[in-house]
Structure 1
C-alpha cells in the first residue's frame, strides 16, 4: 500500500466530511467532524491530506477551500483493500463473515436477499469468464 492510501482515523473523518460537503474550509471541516481538534490541528491535518494526494485547495478570499482529488469510490476500494490485507489475510470470505457477525442483529431480510443476489451475480460472471477462457485455448 502506498503512504497515500493509509489514513489515520482523524484523516478519514476529515475526508468523509469533505466528501459529504464536496468542498470545505477548515471551519466547515471542524463543524462536520466529531470532537474536532483545534483549528490549527485541523489545518495541519488538511495539509497532510494535500501532501498525500487526497486533497487540493483553492483560495477563496482570506481562506483556503479544500476539495477531494481522489474519488470516494476509489478511496473506499483502496481502504478496503488495505483492511483485507491487514486484518483478513486478503480473504474476502473472512471479511464478509466478520461483517455478517457484527451486523447479525441489524441486518434485514431484504439486505440478506440483496447479498444473495450479488453473490449469484458474481458466480454467473465468474462462470462466463471461465467459459470464455476455455474457448480461447
Structure 2
C-alpha cells in the first residue's frame, strides 16, 4: 500500500511539485534548472526523495536517471491546503476568507463578479 501523503508541503516542496505538475514528468536536473535559485543538485534529489516518502511523487529509472512524476493532482493539494487555511485561520468560514481577500484588496469586486460568473458557468456543464 502506498504511503498516505503528508497534508502539507514546504515552500521548496511546493515549488518542485509545481514544476512536476507543469512538466508531467521530469528528471531532478530538469527540475533543478527550473527552480528560482537553481539549488545544488543533491538538494533537489533529497527533496524528491522526501516527496516520494510523503506519497506525492514516484519515479522510474530511465538509463542512469530517475524520471519523476506527480502522484497527487494539483487540485487535490490546493483543496486540502485551502481547507486547512480556512480551518486554521478563518474559523472554518470560507466567507471570512473571501471577506479578507476583499478587505486586503487582493480581490476586486469586478474580479469577484467574474469568479461568480465562471463558477455558475461551471455548474451548468
Which residue is 1:129 aligned to?
Answer: none
Structure with higher Rg: it is 1
Looking at structure 1, the residues matched to 69 and 54 of structure 2 have their Cα atoms a distance apart, in angstroms, of: 13
TM-score (norm 2): 0.81
Looking at structure 2, the residues matched to 22 and 74 of structure 1 have their Cα atoms a distance apart, in angstroms, of: 16
Which residue is 2:106 aligned to?
Answer: 103
Which residue is 1:22 aligned to?
Answer: 24
Looking at structure 1, the residues matched to 71 and 95 of structure 2 have their Cα atoms a distance apart, in angstroms, of: 31
TM-score (norm 1): 0.75
Structure 1 stretches lacking a partner, 5+ long: 122-137
The aligned length equals 116
Any runs of at least 4 consecutive aligned residues in structure 1 with deviations exceeding 4 A, and if so which?
none
Which residue is 2:39 aligned to?
Answer: 37
**Equivalences for residues 1-137 of structure 1 within 5 A:** 4-100=6-102, 101-104=104-107, 107=108, 109=110, 111-117=111-117, 121=120
Structure 2 stretches lacking a partner, 5+ long: 121-125
Q: How large is the Cα RMSD of the aligned pairs?
A: 2.1
